[in-house]
Structures are given as C-alpha cells and as structure tokens.
Structure 1
Amino acid sequence: MKNTILKPLLLVAAVFAFFAASYQTADNASAAKHEYSKVLKTAKAHLGARYVWGATGPSRFDCSGFTKYVYKKSIKKHIPRTAQQQYNKLKHVSKKHLKKGDLVFFGGSKHSISHVGMYIGNGKMIDSQNRGVVTEKVHAPWWHAVGYARAADLSY
C-alpha cells in the first residue's frame, strides 16, 4: 500500500521540481539579459569621451578606467583598477566561450597586459584608447589579444 501511494507522490514532486528549476533558470537568464543591457547602455553613453591616461571617468577614461567605471556605474560590480589586475582577478574564459560583456585583454603576453576592451558581439568591442571611447574590431591588426575574462555573468 505504501509503495502504491509513494510512487505517484514522488512523480508529482519530481515534475514540480523540474518546472520550478526551469522557471528559475528563465528568471536568471532574464535578469542577466537586463544587466547586459544596462552595461551596454552605460558603455555606449560614453562613446566619444576623451582618452586620458589614468582617468576613471565620467568624462575622460583610460582603457581600464573605462571598464571599471562601466561595470560599477551600470550594475554596481567592482572590478580592479588596471588592465593587468583585471585580468589577474577575473574569471578567465576561452575565445570560444566569449560572451557579450566579457573583457578582452591585449599586450605582449598574459603577464604583460597593456589594454582592455569590452566585447559587444559580432567581433567588436568598446574601449578607450588614443582616439577616445570607440567601437572597433577586437582583432584589428594593431591589437594582439592575449586573454578573455568574465566580470559578471551576463547574457544577451
């Protein structure tokens, strides 16, 4: 008798747990999408801002000052100040797993990083460099990408 009642109850509980987990995953994806929208909106709002070495915004930036500012201002995420510190501290991802909002690092090697930009999809990034805050190709001839990192779990 116990097995007759127990099996249907376990089945109902398993189905309920499955749908609850699916709903939560959809909720998390929606929240991540909203966070990426805020990050992108903040970054785009500063297109054209002047480049100044050591500047952290809001009207002038160096490369890592820009990425630090964008994450802090948009989603209250604190990341380290310099490009090398950002690379050293953040969760590394492969080029194959690069997502919008991830950071792309450039330089001579992973131990000699001199530049960082934020990936926005379609092979492009927003970064602050000598022409100011611009959108450009990640794999332009003048950049040597040496690594990628995820500052926050964002979706698109």
Structure 2
Amino acid sequence: MLKRIASIVVAATVAFSGLMFSTGEQAEAATGTFAYSKVNGLNIRTAPSLTSSKVVAKMDKGQRYTYLGKSGSFYKINYKGTHRYISASSTYTYLKASTSTSTTVSTSSSSKRSKLVAESKKYLGTPYRYGGTTTAGFDCSGYTGHVYKKAIGKTLPRSSRQQYSSAKKISKSSIQAGDLVFFSHSGGTIQHVGMALSKTQMINSETGGVKYASFTSGYWAPRYVGAGSYL
C-alpha cells in the first residue's frame, strides 16, 4: 500500500501541465543541473527551433531553470512545469550543477540585503546636505555609502557617478532590495543614486532629506539610467 502511494506521488510530481517528463529528464533534474543565461532578454521558446517556435518569455542574465537535456542546438528546460527551450550556444547560456556552495552564497546575499534594508531605514528624515556623508546630513551618494559601510562593511566609491561605474550592471527586471539605482537630471552623466527596496521603490537622500520614492513613476521614472549591484 505504501509503495502504491509513493508511486502516485512520484507520478503527480513529474506530470506538470499534462507533460510527463521522461526517465532521462527526471535523472537530469535530480542532479540539480541548471541552465543559466549569460545575457538579458534571452528567448524562451515553445520548440527547439528558431523558425517554427513561439517566444513565450525571456530570461535575464543570471536567471536559471532546471536543465532537462539537449535537443539539437537548444537546451530543454522546465519552465513553470512545461517543456521549453533556450539556445545552447555558449555565447548565451551555460550549464552548472547546484552545489552547497551556491546555496551558501545565495543565503549570504539574502542576509546582506536584509541588513542593508534595515540599516537604510534608520536614517529616514535625516536632512539632505551637499557633500554630506554623516548623520548630520547626507547627499545621495554619501547616504548609500554610509548605509553599505554600516550594514555590511563595504566601502563604496564616493560619488554617484563612481558608484555606477564600479557596480555590476543589472537589468531593471533583475533589481532586488539592496541594489543601487542611478539617475541623470539632464540625460547625460550620472547625478543621483538611491537604494532599491523593491522593483519599484527606493530609499534615497534628496531634497527634503532621506525618504522613500518610486523610480518607476513620478519624478524619477524618466530620469532613470540604470541599476547596479555590489552584492
């Protein structure tokens, strides 16, 4: 009886969206091998073809899905319980097995983000001061630098332009709490920085002091230039 229940559970687990994964696919998935994107906007297709398939979604750099095997010049992946395909070109993708090290790195990154968010909120209402880097008053980059140093012991470059230049660039859709978002008032060089709290909201030091603001609507939306991560 127990064997029968177990077999039913296994069958239900592998039968996503009416698609039964083969024994080989189950073995690939069991090894914890993932297909990663090297670029932003990598097409996820319905079939292993450039001409006879539809694009159903896109992957950003660093995103991953469970690898289920190779089909011609495509990797087969488990995308929301369904077979989907991405390019297997080394220019766009790579494979990597899940390891305890990667889990540790992920956990560490999550912990750092939580610390940054908690630290950033301590200074809500602190006045804006041009050139300021202390709790007596912050300018935009003085604030982000102070938060990073206090929260995780990381020293950032002094100016917003330098912080943008040194950060690892990430897409808007990949922004997480603790990442930095950058702006230009004139459409030229970087002139302002804030720290993201979500994919739409940041905390920053601007006119009126340290406050919350949206970077996808209102004043900052049309001035958004890009995002960067130090995590």
Shared fold per TM-score greater than 0.5: yes
Identity score, percent: 36
Aligned residues of 1:65 and 1:82 also touching (Cα < 8 A): yes
1:93-104 equivalences under 5 Å are: 93-104=170-181
Code of the aligned partner of 2:165: N
1:130 matches 2:207: yes
Tell me the distance in 1 between the aligned counterparts of 2:100 and 2:160: 37
Q: How far apart, CA to CA, are the structure 1 residues paired with 2:133 and 2:229? A: 20
Q: Deviations over 1:16-50 (max 9, x none)?
A: xxxxx533322222221111111111100011111
Within a 5 Å distance, the mapping from 1:3-152 to structure 2 comes to 22-107=99-184, 108-109=186-187, 111-143=188-220, 144-152=223-231
Greater strand share, structure number: 2
**Cα RMSD after superposing both structures:** 1.8
Counterpart contact for 2:202–2:215, Cα < 8 Å: yes
1:122 deviation in Å? 4.4
Q: CA shift at 1:141, angstroms?
A: 2.7
Task: State the shift of 1:120 in Å.
Answer: 0.6
Q: 4+ runs of 1 displaced by more than 4 Å?
A: none
- Unaligned stretches of 5+ residues in structure 1: 1-14, 16-20
Alignment length (residue pairs)? 133
Q: Distance in 2 between matches of 1:122 and 1:84?
A: 21
2: CA distance, partners of 1:103 / 1:43: 12
Q: Which protein is richer in helix relative to its size?
A: 1
Q: Considering only CA atoms, is the larger Rg found in Structure 1 or Structure 2? A: 2
- TM-score w.r.t. the length of structure 1 is 0.78
Please report the TM-score for the alignment, with normalisation by the length of structure 2: 0.54
Distance change >3 Å, CA 40–CA 59, structure 1 → 2? farther
| Structure 1 residue 96: Cα displacement | 2.1
